[in-house]
Amino acid sequence: MNDLIDLRSDTVTRPTPAMRRAMAEAEVGDDVYGEDPTVNCLERRAAEIFGKEAALFVPTGTMGNTIAIKIHTHHGQEVICDARAHILDWELSMTAWFSGCLVRTIESPDGILRWDRIRRCLRPAGPNNAPTALIEIENTHNMAGGTVYPIEIIREICAETHHLGLKVHMDGARVFNASVACGLPVHEIARDVDSVMFCLSKGLGAPAGSMVVGTKEAIALGRSYRKRLGGGMRQAGVLAAAGLIALQEMPARLHEDHTNARFLADSLASISGLNVTPPQTNIVIFDVGGTGHAAPDISRRLKERGVLINPVNTPGTTMRAVTHYDAPRAACEHAVEVILSVLH
Ligand SMILES: *Cc1c(COP(=O)(O)O)cnc(C)c1O
């Protein structure tokens, strides 16, 4: 496993030695009783760092988004999101399954919603309408290639949405990457949104876990939804201990992943037949159509030589490479050589 260069996702990062030590030594208790000191500490720190009243530790980002959407909606309402949103394409219809809501999508080339488009999709309550309850924004946007919301767009969406008495949830699975890219602390990015979900388990390197932050009231409600979903873990401090290190120490190194992504993109752009979207963060989307090969075919041939890069869709010609802690510069350099050798 260790000889492979794995650029499929930043979820493949393994816990650092410091995380493993912290996990072994973690003080624990029963978190369903609220008695795990390490979980409590992680939830307090997350709330502080995001400038919110409270936070909830959840096993996965999918559960975090599911809980947040449930907090802000009632059955039979609508949620507006981008057409390639993670909540729509990668979370098994949890918005419908758990919250009983429809998603109404907006197509955008960069995954970034704008208020003037949202405005035209809003549905007021009426004899024929399921009313809109929630706007969901993804920052960074995964399938659009790690794109970052400009802060003024977030501000405008939140101001207008709140003016109508509706809520905004941010799927901030990679919000720390957004923070590095736009140069603003996460509490600025999170200031106006009603809730943020972010992952400890991606670029931040924790083995598992995500957080939902929001008001005290929202998080209290979220705690009961977490239990309903089977997410009431007991001595979860073992995981939260790694999460604390992920939260407090790992954001400072994310810029390395962004530099490596730019290196990867620049190198791939010089290979004939490849069309590369310049990355804003740690996700590089590139099209292999010009090589005459399909993406799954190239993916398979790379794998034979120890480099894992997933196609975005099957069949199709787009691929997606994600840089992270366990794929340092040398690994990215080697990946470029292997890509060259597979194509020529
Ligand atoms: C990874 C991810 C999630 C959550 O994923 P889990 O695998 O459930 O932790 C949510 N949203 C986005 C944009 C993601 O990339």
Instruction: Kindly write down the DSSP assignment for every residue of 24-77, as one continuous string.
Output: HH-----GGGT--HHHHHHHHHHHHHHT-SEEEEES-HHHHHHHHHHHH--TT-
What is the rounded CA–CA span in Å between residue 10 and residue 322? Answer: 6
Considering only CA atoms, which of 65, 11, 16, 39 is closest in space to residue 244? 39
Ligand 1 atom with the smallest distance to the CA of 201 is 9
CA 59 to ligand 1 centroid distance, Å: 11
CA 153 to ligand 1 centroid distance, Å: 22
Residue owning tokens 């502080």: 48
Architecture of domain 5-11+253-343: Alpha-Beta Complex (3.90)
Considering only CA atoms, which of 17, 6, 14, 24 is closest in space to residue 203? 14
Whose Cα sits closest to atom 2 in ligand 1?
173
Check if 147 has its Cβ closer than 6 Å to any atom of ligand 1. Answer: no
Q: 88: how many CB neighbours lie within 10 A of its CB?
A: 18
Tell me whether strands 54-58 and 210-214 are parallel, antiparallel or unpaired.
antiparallel
Per-residue model confidence as pLDDT tens digits over 208-241: 999 999 999 999 999 999 999 999 999 999 999 9
CA 168 to ligand 1 centroid distance, Å: 18
Considering the chain, what percentage of its residues have pLDDT values greater than 70?
99
Per-residue model confidence as pLDDT tens digits over 307-329: 999 999 877 999 999 999 999 99
What is the rounded CA–CA span in Å between residue 323 and residue 328? Answer: 8
Check if 138 has its Cβ closer than 6 Å to any atom of ligand 1. Answer: yes
**Would you kindly state where each structural domain of the chain is located, as residue ranges?**
5-11+253-343, 17-249
Ligand 1 atom with the smallest distance to the CA of 171 is 11
Residues β-bridged to residue 147: 141
Per-residue model confidence as pLDDT tens digits over 133-178: 999 999 999 999 999 999 999 999 999 999 999 999 999 999 999 9
Whose Cα sits closest to atom 14 in ligand 1?
173
Residues sharing a CB contact under 8 Å with residue 127, sequence separation 6 or more, in sequence order: none
What is the rounded CA–CA span in Å between residue 290 and residue 187? Answer: 42
Q: Please report which confidence band the pLDDT of residue 27 belongs to, taking 50, 70 and 90 as the band edges.
A: very high
Check if 86 has its Cβ closer than 6 Å to any atom of ligand 1. Answer: yes
What is the rounded CA–CA span in Å between residue 239 and residue 48? Answer: 19
Residues sharing a CB contact under 8 Å with residue 230, sequence separation 6 or more, in sequence order: none
Ligand 1 atom with the smallest distance to the CA of 202 is 1
The residue to mutate among 8, 62, 148, 174, having the most atoms of ligand 1 within 8 angstroms of its beta carbon, is 62
CA 126 to ligand 1 centroid distance, Å: 34
Q: How far is CA 11 from CA 6, 15, 83, 177, 335, in A?
A: 10, 11, 23, 14, 18
CATH code: domain 17-249 is: 3.40.640.10
